[in-house]
Every structure is written in structure tokens, then in C-alpha cells.
């Protein structure tokens, strides 16, 4: 039986094609992902940023147990991706970055660098382990990163 997870995949629309590949990668590991993110096949016509945040993105992230961030060169400067990560952190969601397939090394969104529980390469087992709670930081090729400071939690 497949492990079912509710996730929100934070990404930029230029990377929509990668969402299916990511879901297929996880399916190959026995994980069924139910994704609440907004993408080309599930687009909306909202234009008010406050409504988009409170009426669309916020509830979708609240529903999810994990926020996956699809890391590509396009995500670094995305205000929306950074907002989604910040919101997920406030909601105490697990935050996992997944390097785009074939990515060599690009900058992480600033909020991901600050709030990620894990950042992993394009390897199904590594992504599943990170979703399930393994805190690890990897380079795009799956090799280890330099040590990352631990997040601080108020007492």
C-alpha cells in the first residue's frame, strides 16, 4: 500500500513541468503525493495578493503536512515562494527543499535557507526520507553540504 502524504509544492510557474516528474519520482518510492499547490492545471483568476494569500495559498498550505520547495534557478527571487515558505514556517510545517532534476547548483530562496528542515538532491529515497523527518542538507548531486546552523526555537 502506498504511503499517502498531503503536500504543497512551492514553485514558480515556469517550473510546472517538474511537478509531475517530482510526483513520479516519489511514486517510484511507494509514496502517493496529494498536492495542493497552484499550477497550470489548477490555475485561478485571482489578482488581489491579499486574497491569494489568505483565501488560496494559506488554506492549501494549512491542509498540507509538508511544504516541498522545488529548487531551481527561478525560485531564488520569487516573492511568492519566499512567502509560502515563511507562512509554512509560521504554521510549524515541515519544509523540504528538493533540487530540480539536473540542477548543478543555484542559490536557494532566502526563506528556504532560513527555515528548511532538509534540502535534498534528486533521489527518490532521499526525498521520502526528508519528508518523513530526516534532517539533511545535500548538494544537487546528493553529496553533503557544508554544515548548516540549527534553527533556534523560543523557549
Q: How is the chain split into domains, by residue range?
A: 3-131
Fold category of 3-131 in CATH: Rossmann fold (3.40.50)
Q: Global pTM? A: 0.88
What pLDDT score was predicted for residue 86? 97
Which stretch of 13-22, 34-43, 104-113, 128-137 has the lowest confidence by average pLDDT?
A: 34-43
pLDDT bracket for residue 154 (50, 70, 90): very low
| Cβ 68 vs Cβ 41: under 8 Å | no
Amino acid at each position: 500500500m502506498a504511503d499517502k502524504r498531503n503536500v504543497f509544492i512551492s514553485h514558480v510557474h515556469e517550473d510546472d513541468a517538474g511537478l509531475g516528474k517530482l510526483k513520479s519520482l516519489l511514486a517510484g518510492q511507494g509514496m502517493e503525493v496529494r498536492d495542493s499547490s497552484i499550477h497550470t492545471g489548477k490555475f485561478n483568476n485571482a489578482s488581489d495578493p491579499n486574497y491569494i494569500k489568505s483565501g488560496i495559498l494559506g488554506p492549501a498550505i494549512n491542509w498540507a503536512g509538508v511544504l516541498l520547495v522545488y529548487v531551481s534557478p527561478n525560485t531564488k527571487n520569487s516573492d511568492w515562494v519566499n512567502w509560502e515558505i515563511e507562512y509554512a514556517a509560521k504554521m510549524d510545517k515541515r519544509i523540504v527543499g528538493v533540487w530540480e532534476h539536473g540542477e548543478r547548483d543555484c542559490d536557494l530562496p532566502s526563506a528556504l535557507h532560513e527555515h528548511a528542515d532538509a534540502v535534498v538532491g534528486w533521489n527518490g529515497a532521499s526525498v521520502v526520507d526528508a519528508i518523513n523527518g530526516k534532517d539533511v542538507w545535500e548538494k544537487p548531486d546528493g553529496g553533503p553540504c557544508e554544515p548548516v546552523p540549527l534553527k533556534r526555537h523560543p523557549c
